[in-house]
Structure 1
Amino acid sequence: MADNRVVQGRMQTPESLAELVEGESVMDAEPIEDADRECPECGGNVLEVGYMPSAMEFVTGYKCQDCDWSEVDRD
């Protein structure tokens, strides 16, 4: 299973994708998966990555493969 995915024309690792969503460096990230949804801005494919921005927090980030849209779910 390939961990890296192309996002907006650039290859991203789970960590670099998580950093794109979070806007700063993260401690750890899980493999990138396809989210079962379309981008609300452009209708493109949305990727999902679970990551830890800090030792005490785990969040799920969503990022469109085609445009700048992203969202974080901090449950």
Structure 2
Amino acid sequence: MADNRVVQGRMVTPESLAEIIEGESVMDAEAIEDADRDCPDCGGDVIKVGYMPSVTEFVTGFKCQDCDWAETDRE
């Protein structure tokens, strides 16, 4: 699948990107997309992935492709 992207020099799948953002394993992840925004820390390109950390929760996670910055849309 062409969903994979390079993040901080390594190839990630939607699931592995979601796990980097979440800090633990996730149940399911959608395709990685461009977030159309720049990283607030380094100005690099930000990508986003929608994922389910649990059965009842859906989160959109954002991750810089160049540095450690990441965040989610959780309240």
TM-score scaled by length of structure 2:
0.97
Deviant stretches of 4+, over 6 Å? none
Question: Which one-letter code corresponds to 1:47 in the other structure?
Answer: I
Provide the rounded CA distance (Å) in 1 between the counterparts of 2:33 and 2:67. Answer: 17
One-letter amino acid of the counterpart of residue 27, structure 2: M
Unpaired segments of 5 or more residues in structure 2? none
State the match for 1:64 in structure 2: 64
> 1:25 matched to which residue of 2?
25
Q: State the percentage of identical aligned residues.
A: 80
DSSP 3-state at the match of 2:16: helix
- AA partner of residue 23 (structure 2): G
Helix, strand or coil: the match of 1:20? helix
1:16 aligns with 2:3: no
Structure 1 segments unaligned to the other structure (5+ residues): none
DSSP-derived class of the 2:42 partner:
coil
Look up the match of 2:40. 40
